[in-house]
Amino acid sequence: MPRIFIDGQPFDARLDQTVMQVADANGIAIPRLCWHPQLSIAGNCRLCVVQVEGRSWVEISCNMPVSEDLRVQTDTELVRAHRKAILQFLTLNHPVDCGICDKAGECMLQDYHVAHNGDASVSHEPKVEATKFFSLSSRITLDNERCVLCTRCVRFTHEVSKSHALGVQDRGDHSVIRPAKGPGASPLEHDAYSDNIIDLCPVGALLSKDFLYRDRVWYLKATPSVCPGCERGCSIDVWHRKPEWALRSLDAKHNTSIVRVTPRDNPAVNGPWVCNKARDLARILERPRAHAPMAKGREVTLEAALAAARALIDKARRPVALISSWGSNEELHAFKTALGERFTCFVKADHVPIEGEVVSDELLIRADKNPNGHTARSLFGSAPMAFTPDTDLVLVWGEGADFAALPRGVPIVFLNAYLAPENGHADVFFPTSVMTERRGHYSNFAGVVSAFERCFSRPGGVVDAQAVFEALGVRIPNEAVTP
């Protein structure tokens, strides 16, 4: 194990490490734009320079292998002058339109400019103009004037998502990122992981059309969560308006909406990536909601719905429950404890692949489009759904059940979060919360348990499924179940 010296301090290093990696591992900050831990080394931004002791020039640290007794300095006069010159160079043709840029507040160029340059541009020449709003796909727009040509986006499509969708066209200050052509390249539109390049871009050149000019990031809060889009259970951050910055005018719904979703780095599950389905979580969770308990299609109080469901359960001799594979570990255990003995239980798929969706691949996407089949099956088994002639009650929890296939004339208790015709056809209906309105855990296909936290309050009239199960099972007073 070689020992190297950074700024005079000795550090043990591995032979396969670079100077930048040793510095990172020991809390020594070296600026970089093009380097990323999951991508190959490009070495094109030239910001990560250091000076080897005894040499009169600077060299990039992202591609400098360690060797015994190597001695580097990260903060000499030469290094500082070089970084400053590079930042001047990078902003030579950059529009510096931070005031209207979605990346402002998260932009590496902005941060480095303050930390390592701080001076206004020394150029008196007009900036070279390039394409604004170049549409790369229905999801992503490119501002070539802000691009610093780090090629992170290009390398991602070649090395991670393998769509080979992007490349660099032309030379010098005419260079632009463009869709790649030729054998092996497919359009970014078909890249199921395309939105990762928005996060990867160190500046505001790659922008989400969905998020474009929608919010400023300093008004937003990131709540840790789990993507329910498939049984991978990728770790994500759900971004929503900070309560202290709640809007009193404009659309009040903006205060309780998912504004964007980004990956949360989790080496045990998804690394730093997610597929585009996670970005579209709002389209799943923010569908029109059910807000009132019902009995035979008529709105009733929660107490009346609980009493009606209880009477049906008490009367039934052969009740069957269709268990949600979107239920959290806590909800599934609550059902098992409260009602598991009373019902014959079958686990159902609440969601199946929809037309045009990637069913599975070798990177992250799994064919089971439900986040918690693992726990559901471990508690309730994997037997295929079957009704006997004497089935006399069906409890349906969550989406995905074919009501036409249920035994005819048998009473139905239904728990669902969304507006659906079946809600009114059930004998008793409970409108339930969605995952952003409560906290809990999912266990992914490999058994890795991940937590999701609450982002929003439950809407009025909506109840947690767990509270319904506990009320129906152990007969706690109705008042304890708060809508």
Interacting residue ranges for ligand SF4, rule: CB under 6 A: 147-153, 177, 200-203, 205-206, 227, 229-230, 232-234, 270, 274-275, 277-278, 364-366
CB of 258 to ligand SF4, least distance (A): 14
CB of 205 to ligand SF4, least distance (A): 4
CB of 129 to ligand SF4, least distance (A): 16
Total Cβ atoms within 10 A of residue 378: 15
Pick 174 or 248: Cβ nearer ligand SF4: 174
- Beta strands 449-452; 59-60: pairing state: unpaired
Rg of the chain in Å (alpha carbons): 28
Return the closest-CA partner of residue 110 out of 82, 91, 129. Answer: 91
CB of 295 to ligand SF4, least distance (A): 36
**Which residues lie closer than 8 Å to 425 by C-beta, 6 or more apart?**
297, 403, 412
CB of 361 to ligand SF4, least distance (A): 9
- Coarse DSSP helix, strand, coil percentages of the chain, rounded to the nearest 5 percent: 25, 20, 55
Across the beta sheet with 9-12, the strand order is: 9-12, 3-6, 71-73, 49-52, 59-60
Return the closest-CA partner of residue 191 out of 154, 245, 151. Answer: 154
CB of 172 to ligand SF4, least distance (A): 15
Provide the 8-state DSSP code for 136.
S
CB of 230 to ligand SF4, least distance (A): 3
CB of 232 to ligand SF4, least distance (A): 4
**Which residues lie closer than 8 Å to 259 by C-beta, 6 or more apart?**
211, 214, 215, 220, 239, 240, 241
Provide the 8-state DSSP code for 89.
H
**Which residues lie closer than 8 Å to 182 by C-beta, 6 or more apart?**
none
Residue with the shortest CB distance to ligand SF4: 229
Pick 51 or 450: Cβ nearer ligand SF4: 450
Pick 368 or 427: Cβ nearer ligand SF4: 368
Provide the 8-state DSSP code for 450.
E
Q: Which of helix, strand or coil describes residue 479?
A: helix
Q: Which of helix, strand or coil describes residue 457?
A: coil
Pick 326 or 343: Cβ nearer ligand SF4: 326
CB of 334 to ligand SF4, least distance (A): 24
CA pair distance 253, 263, nearest whole angstrom: 24
Pick 28 or 364: Cβ nearer ligand SF4: 364
- In the numeric block, the tokens 């889009």 are attached to 229
CB of 179 to ligand SF4, least distance (A): 12
The half-sphere exposure of 473 on its side-chain side, counting CA atoms within 13 A, is 18
CB of 364 to ligand SF4, least distance (A): 4
**Which residues lie closer than 8 Å to 72 by C-beta, 6 or more apart?**
4, 5, 6, 7, 19, 50, 51, 52, 53, 61, 64
Residue 178 phi/psi, 5-degree rounding, is -145, 160
Provide the 8-state DSSP code for 456.
S
- Beta strands 71-73; 49-52: pairing state: antiparallel
Max distance between CA atoms of the chain, in angstroms, equals: 89
Pick 33 or 463: Cβ nearer ligand SF4: 33
CA pair distance 215, 92, nearest whole angstrom: 28
CB of 209 to ligand SF4, least distance (A): 15
Pick 152 or 458: Cβ nearer ligand SF4: 152
Pick 227 or 334: Cβ nearer ligand SF4: 227
Pick 21 or 370: Cβ nearer ligand SF4: 370
Pick 277 or 289: Cβ nearer ligand SF4: 277
Return the closest-CA partner of residue 164 out of 205, 139, 194, 203. Answer: 194
Pick 74 or 328: Cβ nearer ligand SF4: 328
Pick 229 or 272: Cβ nearer ligand SF4: 229
